[in-house]
Structure 1
Amino acid sequence: MEIETPPPPPVAAAVAAAAAISSVLGDDDLLREILLRLGLPTSLLRAALVCRRWLRHASDPAFIRRFRALHPPRLLGAYLSTSAGPAPRLRFLPIRPVPELAAAARRAGAFFDAFKGSAASVYDSRSGRLLVTTFDDRHDSTRQICGPLSPAGDTAVVPPPPPPPPIQLTNDDECLIYHYGEFLPDDDDGRSYFCVVMGYSELQTTVYLYELQDMSWVVRASAAAQLPLLPPRSRVMLFDNAKFYMLSATNKILVCDFPSSSISVMELPNGVLNKHSGCIMLSRGDGSGIFLVHVKESQLQIFHCGKDSDNPGNWFLVDYICLRQVCANLDMTTWPSVDGQSASVKICAVGDNARFVFLEMFGAVVFLDVTSRQADKVYQLTPEDKELVSVRPLMLIWPPVFPPMKEGYDQKESSTVCLLTPFIVMLSLIQFMMFSFVLSVSPFSGYDDL
């Protein structure tokens, strides 16, 4: 007769499970691979709070580079501005929300509630920050750099753009036209932004780059060239902290290289023309040059030009999308055309590396994930909206802001803290095959109720 072995006591089972977990999580190489597969910076921040050993791995610069390569910065949503009534109307549109980011989306959506009574315009959005101008009832404006994802909604009032610089003209009959572009840097202390001021005349083009430092405008670089370019029809600009690109009205791209103080001109890709406002948009390439997104009829084309080449022959068509196909589920079957160009399809915004595109199509705002070829209608314009003014994507804060590492904490104590982490949380790491988990620990900066 077989004698059944009694189940181990709960304490012994817990000890055995903890030993099994320790054999995995105690291995630094395996732990890094687990952390690498969390997928969201919010999850990485929570994992870093388990203990200092996890924090050390999660905040290591080499690990952060691997994490970014595997999980590009995540789009949370977009601020949509319409010209409803006497003042622009601003609203937040969550894009493909996931439960873990629901609280961040709510915070972003409620951020402009504090600006009630004032009209607000978003000039730029970068790494979870916004460059905003508000107008009161007397039409007085205030420039602010805002952090809508932070718990306190961090806001810093900054000076308005600098006055136009004096530009020497070749003769008294020349007419000078100024054009401004305002941009947030990738990383800063929350109180800085760039301003590019361009002066056009009949014989020359001059560009000044200003940076706000300690609440004062400082000229970082300038360049001039004998290029009689016309000002652009629309604000198709791109600034990557080293080069400034602007689409001119002559179907050319003006390139200002600030390190070398030089100005040059790029041709558009073969067959691409700036026929109407909204048919071309430029995109940063994460250090790999720039992308150009072009829409014609129901065709969306994506071109790439390498970082070290401004030769027009170095534009390469890297992607082609038929909007009729990817938007078939959106009940948009008619494509009215005027002079061979689709008058009802416009590009509103693009992501870095042209990963996503926002389109205005037949009275609707459509989000297109270029990688997955999936399109979603995120907003239907109403008669009260009158006209779509802008779409500004809001990305999650990157890189994550980790808590400071305190000294005097040895490896043995760190390992002990890891083993004392809630038992269910540890099991979830293994159960989900090292791809995702939710750590029930105290929250940290910017994601306190996620």
Structure 2
Amino acid sequence: MASPRPPPELMADPVIEILLRLPPGDPACLIRASLVCKAWLRLISDGTFLRRYRAFHRAPPLLAFLANTYGSEDRLIPFTSPTPFKPPAFVYSGRPEVMDWRHGRALLFDMWADSEGVLSVWDPMTRHRQVLPKPDFSYINGAVVLCASASAGCDHLDCHGGPFLVVCLSRSSMGGGATATAARVYSSDAGSWGAQTSVQLGPDSISEMNSPVVIGDEVYFALNLTSRILKYSLGKDDLSLIGPPDQDGHSKFVLMRTEDGSLGLAAVRDPHLYLWSRKVNPEGVAGWVNCRVINLRTLFSIYNHKTTTVIGFAEGVEIIFVSTFMGLFAVELKSGKVKKVAGPDYYLSVLPIMSFYTPGLALSFTMLS
């Protein structure tokens, strides 16, 4: 009896259309598909397919987040299962703060390293960590990392290995309760820090540890002791202040970029989540508009609303992180879905890791089990 004929191979185009629709939020799917056969591995690892995959899904998925806490040693917390990431291997013994996450990179600051602390940029996809030369600052109290190719039209879907910039803030006392905040910019292309720009402020010029917001060439930092916002313009190389919306001045808030590209703000009060957006009226005057109020008691149990705070935001997927007495929750603003992502702790801030985990990178470093 003749042996059965093998089934015909699938045509490449239908396979591509199927693989393009594998969810990026479950990175194991694409990795396992690449292990089906050598033809699929070649197809999925091809640069053309990976560019189409990223363009098809556009917003990078939320895969994990980095937490700044007073308690837990677990700083990298998965949002998906299994997580493809491992915590960075630090060469110093301190507990580094996560200053920022953006465009595929995390900015870390180990204040206990050496005498003045060490800044480093870590790529969780490639696991590469680059220690930066020390800026001429006595103390770093705010920083942001961003792709240096934005002016060249980079879509930030695959910035791994590309040039980057770091904007760093420092505060110094001027006597009489006045302080000056200075900013310097590090360029990975130049391998050095640029000239210093400073502005005189009151005693409230310490920035929060939650992630700054970048809109165009402007970087926004939340100040710690009041609700004011510090804006740094990369193009003009200057610093200025923005007043808060009309809300409780003692409420902890997180800055965010809204879907229409405006500066946004989220804060919790009594126990509602208030969402604000900064708009320009027909007369050209910028002001805050309260665009949404969400009753958090309808989403999850709140034991004590005074301990309920918003501590992070994931841009692109529109997820707010809310810390409560019962644990840490992720709230999807579009769908209203809620997911408990970690147990109770003293969370200062969380910064989401958002990236496409594709075989072009993944198979070079690790395999998902």
- Select the structure of larger CA radius of gyration: 1
Q: Aligned-pair distance for 1:325?
A: 0.7
User: Would you say 1:40 and 2:24 are equivalent positions?
Assistant: yes
> Does structure 1 residue 393 correspond to structure 2 residue 352?
yes
One of 136, 149, 167 as aligned partner of 1:162:
136
Query: 1: distance between equivalents of 2:4 and 2:280?
Result: 61
User: Identity over the aligned pairs, expressed in percent?
Assistant: 17
1:364–1:314 Cα change, 3 Å: closer
- Greater shift in the superposed pair: 214-223 or 181-190: 214-223
Describe the shift of the 1:313–1:146 C-alpha distance in structure 2 as closer, same or farther (beyond 3 A): closer
Whether the aligned pair in 2 keeps the contact of 1:223 and 1:261 (CA below 8 Å) is no
Distance of aligned partners of 1:35 and 1:281 in 2 relative to their CA distance in 1, 3 Å threshold: same
**Cα shift at 1:116:** 8.6
3-state SS of 2:322 partner: strand
2:108 to 132, 138, 153: 132
Q: 1:120 to 1:196 in 2, by over 3 A?
A: closer
> Aligned match of 2:341 in 378, 389, 395?
378
| 2:151 aligned residue | none
Q: Is the 8 A contact 1:144 1:155 kept in 2?
A: yes
1:196 matches 2:191? no
Aligned to 2:7: 14
1:75 Cα offset (Å): 1.8
The answer for the alignment partner of 1:77 in structure 2 is 64
| Contact kept in structure 2, 1:291 and 1:304, CA below 8 Å | yes
1:346-357 matches, within 5 Å, as 346-353=309-316, 355-357=318-320
Unaligned ranges ≥5, structure 2 = 148-158
Provide the aligned C-alpha RMSD in A.
Answer: 4.3
Matches within 5 A, 1:28-67: 33-40=17-24, 42=27, 43=29, 50-51=41-42, 55=46, 57-60=48-51, 64-67=54-57
Paired letter, 1:50: L
What corresponds to 1:242 in structure 2?
217
Shift of 1:350: 1.4
Deviation at 1:245, TM superposition (A): 1.5
Deviates more, 1:129-138 or 1:387-396: 129-138
Letter matched to residue 348 of structure 1? I
SS in 2 for 1:366: strand
Shift of 1:447: 4.8
Counterpart of 1:448 in structure 2 is 367
- From 323, 328, 333, the equivalent of 1:365 is 328
In terms of fraction of residues, the more helix-rich structure is: 1
The 8 Å contact of residues 221 and 258 in structure 1, kept in 2 or not, is answered as no
Within-5 A mapping of 1:110-129: 111-112=87-88, 117-129=93-105
Opposite residue 449 of structure 1, the aligned amino acid is: L
Contact 1:191 1:215 in 2 (8 A): no
Letter in 1 for 2:60: P
Measured in 2, the distance between the counterparts of 1:223 and 1:138 equals 26
User: Residue 219 of structure 1 aligns with which residue?
Assistant: 194
Distance 1:268 1:359 in 2: 20
Give CA-to-partner distance per residue, 1:333-368, whole Å, 9 cap, x none: x44xxxxxx421112211115711222212632232
Distance 1:140 1:353, change over 3 A: same
Write out aligned runs for 1:293-332 (5 A): 293-305=266-278, 311-313=285-287, 315=289, 317=291, 319-328=292-301, 332=302
Q: How many residues align?
A: 344
Q: Where does 1:396-435 land on structure 2 (aligned, <5 Å)?
A: 396-397=355-356, 402=360
- What is the TM-score when the length of structure 2 is the normalising length? 0.73
Structure-1-length-normalised TM-score = 0.61
Q: Which amino acid aligns with 1:55?
A: D
Q: 1:139 to 1:211 in 2, by over 3 A?
A: closer
Q: CA deviation at 1:299?
A: 0.7
**Aligned partners of 2:93, 2:170: CA distance in 1, in Å?**
33
Aligned to 1:280: 253
- AA aligned to 1:313 is G
Is the CA contact 1:283–1:353 (under 8 Å) kept in the aligned structure 2?
no
Does residue 268 (structure 1) correspond to residue 244 (structure 2)? The answer is yes
- Cα distance per residue 1:395-440 (max 9 Å; x no partner): 3357x5848xxxxxxxxxxxxxxxxxxxxxxxxxxxxxxxxxxxxx
Please tell me whether residue 184 in structure 1 is matched to residue 168 in structure 2.
no
Answer 1 or 2: which has greater strand percent. 2
Which structure 1 residue ranges, 5 or more long, are not aligned? 1-5, 165-177, 336-341, 404-442
